[in-house]
Amino acid sequence: MIRMETVETVISRSVRLLCAGGVAALATAALAQPALAQDGNMQRVEITGSSIKRASAETASPIQVIGRDELLKSGKSSVADFLQTLTADGAGSLPTGFGNGFAAGSTAISLRGLGATSTLVLLNGRRMAPFARADDGQKSFTDLSSVPMQIVERIEILKDGASSTYGADAIAGVVNIILRKDFEGSMLKADSGVSGDGDARQHKASLSVGKGNLERDNYNLVVNAEYSKSDMLFNKDRAGRDWIGKGDLRAYGYPIGTQFASGYINGNNDATAGPAGSIRNPATLDYVSLPGCAGLSASAPPDPKGGCLWHHDQFRAMQPKIESVNLYGRGTWQLHPDTQLYTELGYSKRDTSFQMIPPTITPTVAFPSSAANPAGVINYASGAGTAMLLAANHPQNPYGVPVRVRYTAFDVGASTRSANNEFSRFVAGAKGKLGDWDYDAAYVHSESKLHLDYSNMLNLNVVRDALGNPASQYFPYYLGAQAGRNPASLYAAMARSLRSDSTTKLDIVDAKASRELFALPGGMLGLAVGAEHRREKLDNPSLDGTRDGSVNSNYVAAKGDSKVSALFIEVAAPLVNTLELSAALRYDKYQNFSSSTPKLGAKWTPLKTFALRGTYAEGFRAPGPAESGAESQSTGAAPTVDPVRCPNGKTPLPGATSTDCNITINAVKLGNPNLRPETSKGYTLGLVWDVLKDTSLSLDAWKIKRIDEINPLPYNEAAALPSAIRADNNLSIGGVVAPNTGTLLLARAPYRNSSFTEIKGVDLDLKQRLRLGEYGRASVGLTWTHIASWLRAESATVRYQFAGTHGNCDTSNCAGTPKNKINLVASWDRADWNVTGTLNYRSDLKNTKYQGAKCATVLADGGDAPPGCALASFTTLDLSTRWNYSKALQLFASVSNATDKVAPLDALTYGGLSYNPMDASGAIGRYFKLGASYRFN
């Protein structure tokens, strides 16, 4: 067992070595026999990140290879579920349960925490059309849900970027999912899962059929079909699991005003929306709750100020309902020894449904500015001329004058977000040998179609008339306990579904060729050249009704069309038996700019059991249509500190509340045509060492600097601007009412090129094989990622350090940036049995949004929350077993979170109710799965 202090010392030394300058281009990988490529009988292979075929699978870059057997032993049911357990995955990853996000129904990986948009995902070495709605309204990404699990051959993860080979978006690295190309026979596989509480059921079945052998028959056809179904799981289904899924955290010392609580009365001319309804006394300006709360909300104890307190777990789902179909086919024809034709067809349909809370009648909504509304904002809570009012003669208004009202429409019902996504892909290509050149050329067409349907939304014009216009046919709209008196015609006019249909299209023509040029002392000089032209189209209209602010949803839309042409060249030069240098250069021409991205690498193998490696790579990411399109606009929500009402980040001013010190607000983001592309510089420096015959390790220090990063203005900075929209419950300071100090409702956070982001860290990979004689064989593997620094510079003077904190919360899902993530896998094989155990660990987090900030959440007594302002580390154990009953039949079982570990309490993140969305296994609890596979021939 390796002592923690020893590994931390190695990590610290490696980071210092890299940061001190090191060798910018010492590169790759490891223990290949020198000059193997000279052996004409040796099969050469192409590795992710390089277009030069090699006799060894090792290149100049650190690559993590995950085989089919490793996927099966993990017990995970999808590619996304597996990839999101990797130590290299970080903030910005999209888990299945993140149903309240922009891209609900999708899944994505975020290498190094740089966001899914900086992680290039490939299928069989080529791009796929991105998901048809950008995450956070900004970030284009590839949906992993469209990849079939059963037919995966292996996954290769390049951890140092590959813009010189693949072009844009590979700043953080590349995930290349490689599907089987040579399957013969028929295999049926099915599994079923259920939680330890008897819910969250999942069922999956797949059929793979392959015919033909390339060497014998000169062809191979593979078809795979998968079907899966998952039940919706609600937060209230975990009511007995400590704090999991709870919106009410008062039992743990938190104040009443946490982010998933509502209906309480703040005082100072302010109240939150509740199911009974609250109206404002015109004499005192205090809100008073209407009667009947007990029959609508079970939250206890009640609000001491008389509000109708309720919590989101009364309605909101924890995991979505999912039904999906994945179809994949590949045909390969060997026309003669030097020519092979191939085609791929893929189709996936995924229907996702996630239940949210009922709508409020007093939102603040943003939409494109117009002559009728130049500001592009309507404040239904307290805006002049736009605030919802209860008419003087409304039966529930005792004051005889129009009064303001707060109300959550339980009578309308919970809103359900349905996302139905269809993905299709077609590839036709040829590969082979032409003279001394190995070539591969193809045409790719890929599409993603997304239909969104948000039910039980509100036509706010009808609501306004039904409450405040006695001449309206819908007046009076009875609230809360009296809602049963309302006619069906009112709901038919007031409640509606909002829909949109989005598409992305990707067309690619590419060609590449490689050859050996001449002999060097260490082997043959390898050369690769290639060209690519692609066109990407995005049409993401907003939900209908959102263009003029007349419904309770913000406008989110993006549209764009781009063309890219590229050329690249790559060389691999084994100068001597122990030293190989590599270099690559790619030129990309966009419509408005061009980019040249080089990559350099070196591998020195002084011993057959030891190698030093390193790379230097430059990358870039072009502004996406959601960021740069003139028609693009989005509004996202995230928690922030109101710098006006809570100036020190912890203690609210008199008249404000603790909610103002951690308030979730909306921020409007507009497309900016003047954005520059992001660029990056990445460095790796590492070693690979076969310490003993059955013991190996690799250690790589790395640094990525992303320059001109495209971000919205940080929410805390946007909230301090005079353009922020606030309620009119202004504070009295020194006995004088201070203007523009009301509750923060909405801020403007335009896209801009911030200064840079720089991340430094170390990856450690240890493998130990154990030969147990008659007791079989075993292996132990440890993968460790340490983040030494995650620094964002917004300007020359404003910098945020996120390593070890809960941030970044502006452009991620606020999942935090733990300094250490570890996977420890032990596997034992004996005869027809395999047993595998996997420990997944993430280190603790300071509950601050960046280093040096005040504690992000506080207890009711004003103390740090949690005590010590730190979120505990989280470790889970997954177990799986497999029994080969016969050559045809295999039985398997798994238990996720076998110890039933409860995820730590997290009151800041908004992806899960009181738990971190990346700790979802600790929210769901112990989960069992049984399955079988049968091979027919």
pLDDT digits over 709-734, tens only?
888 877 778 888 888 888 888 888 88
Q: What integer pLDDT is reported at residue 36 of this predicted model?
A: 31
Residue 26 tokens read as: 């010492």
110, with CB counted inside 10 A (0-12, 13-18, 19+), is: buried
**pLDDT tens-digit profile of 519-576?**
999 999 999 999 999 999 999 999 999 999 999 999 999 888 899 999 999 999 999 9
pLDDT greater than 70 at residue 28: no
DSSP-derived pairing of the beta strands 870-871 and 389-390: unpaired
Percent of the chain past pLDDT 70, that is, above it, reads 92
Neighbours of 120 (CB within 10 A): 27
Alpha helices in 531-681 (DSSP H): 625-628
Question: Quick check: 636 and 669 in contact, CB under 8 A?
Answer: yes
In this prediction, residue 26 carries a pLDDT of 31
The count of other CB atoms within 10 Å of the CB of residue 589 is: 13
Q: How many Å apart are CA 477 and CA 211, to the nearest integer? A: 66
Given pLDDT bands bounded at 50, 70 and 90, which one contains residue 615?
very high
pLDDT-wise least confident of 88-92, 425-429, 504-508, 777-781: 88-92
The CA–CA distances, whole Å, from 331 to 212, 328, 718, 785 equal: 10, 10, 54, 39
Please classify residue 501 by burial: count the beta carbons closer than 10 Å to its beta carbon, then call 0-12 exposed, 13-18 middle and 19+ buried. Answer: middle
Higher pLDDT, 908 or 811: 908
Phi and psi at 429, nearest 5°, equal -155, 175
Give me the sign of the Cα torsion angle 918, 454, 260, 313.
negative
> What pairing do the DSSP bridges indicate for beta strands 744-748 and 663-670?
parallel
Residue 882 near residue 72, CB atoms below 8 Å: yes
Give, in degrees to the nearest 5, the angle at Cα 841 between 837 and 842.
165
Q: pLDDT tens digits, residue range 333-389? A: 999 999 999 999 999 999 999 999 999 999 999 898 888 888 888 999 988 889 999
pLDDT at 18 over 60: no
Which of 495, 497, 474 has its CA nearest to residue 486? 474
Asked if the bond preceding 647 is cis, omega within 30° of 0, the reply is: no
* Structure-model confidence comparison of residues 86 and 18, the more confident one: 86
| Mean pLDDT, range 597-620, rounded to an integer | 93
For residue 169, give Cα distances in angstroms to 23, 28, 102, 139, 174: 25, 22, 20, 11, 9
Give the C-alpha distances (Å, rounded to integers) separating 299 from 250, 312, 315. 11, 10, 13
Query: Is the pLDDT score of 13 beyond 50?
Result: no
Q: What angle do CA 124, 128, 130 make, to 5 degrees?
A: 150
The answer to whether residues 403 and 282 touch, using CB atoms and an 8 Å cutoff, is: yes
Which of 927, 920, 930 shows the shortest CA–CA distance to 900? 927
Helices (H), 724-795: none
- In the DSSP assignment, the letter for residue 265 is B
What's the whole-number average pLDDT of the chain? 88
Which residue bears the tokens 């580390």?
873
- Is there a contact between 625 and 670 (Cβ–Cβ < 8 Å)? no
**Could you tell me the pLDDT band of residue 253, with boundaries at 50, 70 and 90?**
very high
Place of tokens 């900016």: 672
User: In the structure encoding, which two tokens stand for residue 890, read together?
Assistant: 């295999």
d(C-alpha 763, C-alpha 11), whole Å = 8
Q: DSSP character for 338? A: T
pLDDT classification of 37: cutoffs 50, 70, 90: very low
528-543 pLDDT, tens digit each: 999 999 999 999 999 9
**E strands within 180-298?**
185-195, 202-211, 219-230, 233-234, 261-262, 278-280, 287-289
Q: How confident is the model at residue 45 (pLDDT cuts 50, 70, 90)?
A: low
**pLDDT for residue 137:** 65
Q: pLDDT for 137-154, tens place per residue?
A: 667 788 888 888 888 999
User: Is pLDDT above 80 for 810?
Assistant: no
Which has the closest alpha carbon to 167: 620, 627, 615?
Answer: 620
| Residue 814 DSSP code | S
Q: Binning pLDDT at 50, 70 and 90, where does residue 662 land?
A: confident
State the residue for tokens 């940061």.
Answer: 19
Residue 711: beta bridge partners? 752
Please, what is the Cα angle at 370 between 364 and 376, to 5 degrees? 20
The b-or-e profile of 701-738 (16+ CB within 10 A means b, else e) is: bbbbbbbbbbbbbbbbbbbbeeebbbbbbbbeeeeeee
Contact 594, 634 (CB under 8 A): no
Give the mean model confidence (pLDDT) for residues 665-694.
89
Task: Using alpha carbons, select from 767, 604, 751, 639 the residue that is nearest to residue 697.
Answer: 767
Handedness of CA 657, 658, 664, 670 (dihedral sign): positive
How far is 456 from 441, CA to CA, in rounded Å?
50
pLDDT tens readout for residues 257-294 = 999 999 999 877 889 999 999 999 999 999 999 999 99
pTM of the model: 0.88
Q: Name the amino acid, one letter, at 529.
A: V
